[in-house]
Structure 1
């Protein structure tokens, strides 16, 4: 089935931005980072130094703030973003993996960033690929997510037995997706143990019967990464 002829074609540049499209308050520091002399009181204060109660969010007296790593883990534990199956093809091979780090990163021009683990077989193929396809799954798509997240493409063909077609740039398009887009890779950026692939969503498709929400990080917590450690 040619997915580009069924469902709804969408204009990649017509997305409406959300708060997460940009930075959040705090990227440039908070009010307490500068300008307020809490310890010595400000002009007009009737109290003396140290009389005022701790500002909201300050650790209690004698307590230590969370170490940075633990604090960041606590922050990310509150986030429940969609997971994506990213597929690609290059040099006569095809690959795909489950991705939790991904986001729209520009409105005009429309751009989407996908972070692939350097330990992943798909990453090794994507380094030379011209096109990536990014799929959303519905809440019943756990088995498909487990196949692409819990198995290693270096050891087995993840596409065996699946209903898929060759999409734009040769990237495999999965018939079981809730929605997908595909397009050329416009840039690659090293982010540590993951590399960001900047994708232009040149071709998009959404199921005519699509109903949210999409499969999310919390739905996929039981999937153990299948790539080699």
Structure 2
């Protein structure tokens, strides 16, 4: 969409393609009571002086308090704090009742168990359309040991599950593949016996994503970006472990294979029933845009959903 008149929902969804971290921004109101809200519009600004920013909607019920506060804290949530994110994203009467917290060195509430925190003085407030940009000067900070919680396309992403799944699949004779999608179509590669398969390659030592992305770009001649892990399973019939990622391709004619509309995928002509099952699930999940990670074998397993935002 390139016209001057945008569909706000479509624009929001497109912004949501960018994988971000998840934070809880906290402060104290004029009575000294803690307030906080979930935000993923957070970024570092400067090291010297130490500055960061968060964005706050002017319609937020916290807008007046935040813009008049002497400072605020940014709590970077860990991958185990999805429930905390949901609590501070909902209109709960006392959001701090179910979490551990303390008063930070500069006075803002600091949550327990976070991946990192920054306690800031208010440096500047910048008007930005229907939002305000709060620029804070870092007065104190701490870097924890937990991995951060991710968020993209309306879903939470945790790195631990992906790491465990790939490590498990690396045992045996692993193949790494991708469901390469663009504009509602999926790339399939013809096999020597006249069937179709996903673009795939043997798993190389020393890395997965870089090798897969280089292979896809070389084979298709297109710009291809590898995204989230999608499926990890053992095919006991062939003796292979399969690691499947989602990927997106740019427009243009592919130098390998053929793009099929998701509704017209030749599921009866795939190289194995397991590949057909991967594509059936992808077609079903594409309708809602809510994807998960399958872990199991070619006959049974479990889909671990990316937890949806409340």
Aligned-residue offset at 1:166 = 1.3
Q: Structure 2 CA distance, aligned partners of 1:173 and 1:105?
A: 21
Q: Structure 2 vs 1, CA of residues 190 and 177 (structure 1 numbering), >3 Å: closer, same or farther?
A: same
Q: Which residue of the other structure, out of 68, 71, 75, is the alignment partner of 1:131?
A: 71
Aligned-residue offset at 1:180 = 0.4
Q: Which residue of the other structure, out of 105, 117, 139, is the alignment partner of 2:57?
A: 117
Partner of 1:205: 142
Following superposition of structure 1 onto structure 2, how do residues 77-226 of structure 1 map, counting pairs within 5 Å? 77-92=16-31, 93-152=33-92, 156-207=93-144, 209-210=145-146, 212-217=147-152, 218-219=155-156, 222-224=308-310
Alignment deviations for residues 15-67 of structure 1 (CA, whole Å, 9 cap, x no partner): xxxxxxxxxxxxxxxxxxxxxxxxxxxxxxxxxxxxxxxxxxxxxxxxxx643
Q: Structure 1 CA distance, aligned partners of 2:109 and 2:16?
A: 32
5+ long unaligned stretches in structure 1: 1-64, 225-229
Taking structure 1 as the reference length, the TM-score comes to 0.61
CA contact (8 A) 1:88 1:122 kept: no
CA contact (8 A) 1:186 1:200 kept: yes
Q: Structure 2 vs 1, CA of residues 175 and 130 (structure 1 numbering), >3 Å: closer, same or farther?
A: same
CA contact (8 A) 1:142 1:215 kept: no
Taking structure 2 as the reference length, the TM-score comes to 0.46
Which runs of at least 4 in structure 1 moved beyond 4 Å after TM superposition?
70-75
Q: Structure 2 CA distance, aligned partners of 1:138 and 1:166?
A: 19
- Aligned length, in residue pairs: 155
Partner of 1:57: none
User: Which structure has the highest strand share of the two?
Assistant: 2
Q: Structure 2 vs 1, CA of residues 165 and 79 (structure 1 numbering), >3 Å: closer, same or farther?
A: same
Alignment deviations for residues 186-223 of structure 1 (CA, whole Å, 9 cap, x no partner): 0001112211110011101122x32x343324318833
5+ long unaligned stretches in structure 2: 158-306
User: Which structure has the highest helix share of the two?
Assistant: 2
Relative contact order higher in (CA < 8 Å, ≥ 6 apart): 1
Aligned-residue offset at 1:161 = 3.1
Aligned-residue offset at 1:139 = 1.6
